[in-house]
Structure 1
Amino acid sequence: MIKHHPSDALLAQYCNASLASSISVAVAIHLDMCSCCKDKVKHIEAQNADAIFTQSDLSIDEELSVDAMSLFDAITASDDVDDVYKMTPQTILVNQQSYQLPRALARIPHGKFMQMGKLSRSRISLEDGSLRSSLLHIDAGGEIPEHTHTGFELTLLLDGEFGDEDGDYVAGDFMWLDGRHQHTPTTKEGCLCYTVVSSALHFNKGLSKLLNPIGNLIY
């Protein structure tokens, strides 16, 4: 069962289309996996609609008339045609493991998986300022050395399982960590995650600390 969800504030920002693209993608994927948060979003969207249609600046008839004319003018003024396409499942192969990508990622390109030990990473092609989004794969028996965060790290588990000092996670779990947290993710069976980071990780122990001086180059 999914135990970790986006905050209500984050869901409200998603409904208002005010999130960065990479974070909005993470929320969209989570909603496809979590009926609880999907119901929350429906409720927020209904509240937003009620707020729009109960504004007191105009009478109801005037407001509906103005909105309808504005919408009609916007439609007829545009020569753009939206592409209608059938969504086909997209699968990827990582170290002999096959995974089906979430719907929200099916039409967004990603790079070749680069491997370092039991870790493999593919960068998602989203132009999103300082934010970096990736597919992160950890082979069975793998771990990410203990680290904290110089910015924030969003992790959405897409498939498989992993655990850290705070517990165990299943597909659909949505975790948001920052400099207040440090952890050592490990997986017995292997996992695929969607991640978003705003700055470099900071490794705390052993040889992995050698990566810290070049962290801003590889995050």
Structure 2
Amino acid sequence: MKIKYHPTDELIEHFTAGILSPALSVLVSTHLDLCPRCQQVNLEVEESLAEQLITTSPAGVNTADYDQMLEHIFNSPAPVQQPQRQSLHSLRVNGKTFVLPPTLARQYQRIGQWSRIPGKMFKAPVQLGSDECIHLIYMDKGSRVPEHTHKGNEVTLVINGVFNDEQDEYRDGDFVMLDQQHKHQPQTQSHDCLTLATLDAPLLFTAGLPRLLNPFSSLFFK
């Protein structure tokens, strides 16, 4: 199945340059695990940044000395690298087992306990060693999140499965970034879904009785 939703090229550029927040870095990196298109964009950005570094002498460095240093680096024998065995980790939730993409596999020890949340869903935090926290969110078949908008940005990456809202259907690898201008009601139908998500501000429920939950919306995904 072709991935329809991707991080912007600008977001990938910021990721490659190392200036994204830890939470967004993990989501973009996990998307790259799943998306050949964005892997190519990332490679092109890496090559562009490398070319800029090579063609621009650092401030205060003699140009001749810089060129000599680069020549020495390029003429040095490449180190012999032993092939590394790719570690595989799986997690089990609601009786189903999911194999994690490489980026999440490296964060395996940071995944906390699963807890049930309203709407036939479960969440598990992934602690990043900073003030930020991302969540694995499992939506069982027939799950539904109350209609809401966002006080900040919400980024959701589909790891496995299918969910939909009023705008479209989202499958493995889709990277969905929403802000205060978006209102939606995510739900699953005949398939379940495992996602990775981050918020930089709580949800804001917009319809019916769930609006009474707004003071407690951080209990969902934040």
Asked if the contact 1:159/1:192 (under 8 Å) is kept, the reply is: yes
- Residue type of the partner of 1:62? D
Aligned position for 1:74: none
Q: What TM-score, normalized to structure 2? A: 0.85
CA distance in 1, matches of 2:93, 2:179: 28
Asked if the contact 1:20/1:128 (under 8 Å) is kept, the reply is: no
CA distance in 2, matches of 1:46, 1:119: 42
CA distance in 2, matches of 1:35, 1:163: 23
Name the SS for the 1:106 alignment partner: helix
- Identity in percent: 33
CA distance in 2, matches of 1:18, 1:138: 31
Name the SS for the 2:143 alignment partner: coil
How far residue 32 of structure 1 moved from its aligned partner, in angstroms, is: 1.2
The root-mean-square deviation of aligned C-alpha atoms, in Å, is 2.2
How far residue 125 of structure 1 moved from its aligned partner, in angstroms, is: 1.1
Aligned position for 1:134: 135
CA distance in 1, matches of 2:218, 2:90: 31
Aligned position for 2:215: 213
CA distance in 2, matches of 1:25, 1:68: 35
Aligned position for 2:194: 192
Work out whether 1:176 is the aligned partner of 2:177. Answer: yes
- Residue type of the partner of 1:181? H
Aligned position for 1:81: none
Which digits, 9 at most, give the CA deviation of each residue in 1:100-125, with x for residues without a partner? 11211113211111012411000111
How far residue 66 of structure 1 moved from its aligned partner, in angstroms, is: 4.4
Asked if the contact 1:132/1:198 (under 8 Å) is kept, the reply is: no
Which digits, 9 at most, give the CA deviation of each residue in 1:102-152, with x for residues without a partner? 2111132111110124110001111333x3310000001111110111111
Between 1:53-62 and 1:146-155, the stretch displaced more is 53-62
Q: What TM-score, normalized to structure 1? A: 0.86
CA distance in 1, matches of 2:169, 2:142: 15
Any gaps of 5 or more consecutive residues in structure 1? 71-83
Alignment of 1:69-108 (within 5 A): 86-108=85-107
Any gaps of 5 or more consecutive residues in structure 2? 74-82
CA 128–180 in structure 1, closer or farther in 2 if over 3 Å, else same: farther
Q: How many residues align?
A: 205
